[in-house]
Amino acid sequence: MIPALTAYYLRMKYLQFKPPIDPVTIARDEGYEVLFSDFGGVYGTALGFIDIYDNVIYVNKSADPQTQSYVIAHELGNSIFNRHTDWARLGNAVYWDRDIRNRKHNARNRIAREFALGLIAPRGMVRNYADRVPSEDLSKLFGVPNKFLTSRI
């Protein structure tokens, strides 16, 4: 509930009332730099990550636009809700304990996902458009990968 309310507050604060919600503008207005980078082989298949010490969100520029949008919102959620967790600085990058077997990770990831979807694809807003927009276009309209939209309709 808290992630959804926080997302709602940010949408209202930045007058984002209809899709597409722009997570880049919201993140920048909240004091985060958003950088689209070529991850190459350095970070494997990572889609993005956040440096919480420097307030920089890194997004894989090779990802499709819907994934990029979601990643920005997700990493913003990580920063807001998981700021005081197990982060480690490795060289120039900051990593969160991403061991998927770790229950804390799964709970933290769920909170960031709830925030991200609440920010850029709020359930009520998606439902309002679901009847009028073909399902294949909803993903583009909301800037969210299709796999996340099915739970919003």
Averages of pLDDT over runs of 10 residues in the chain (153 residues) are 90 94 96 90 76 88 93 92 56 47 63 94 93 88 87 78
> What's the Cα-to-Cα distance from 89 to each of 64, 95, 137, rounded to whole Å?
28, 6, 39
In degrees, to the nearest 5, what angle opens at C-alpha 14 toward C-alphas 68 and 66? 15
Which residue is it, tokens 């583009």? 140
Q: What is the pLDDT of residue 148?
A: 84
Domain ranges across the chain: 2-121
Distances (CA, A) of 127 to 9, 52, 130, 133, 134: 20, 34, 5, 10, 12
Task: Provide the token pair at 68.
Answer: 């990029």
Q: And the tokens for 91? A: 């060289």
| Per-residue pLDDT, 66 | 93
- Can you give the pTM of this predicted structure? 0.85
Q: Which fold has domain 2-121?
A: Arc Repressor Mutant, subunit A (1.10.10)
Q: What angle do CA 143, 52, 115 make, to 5 degrees?
A: 35
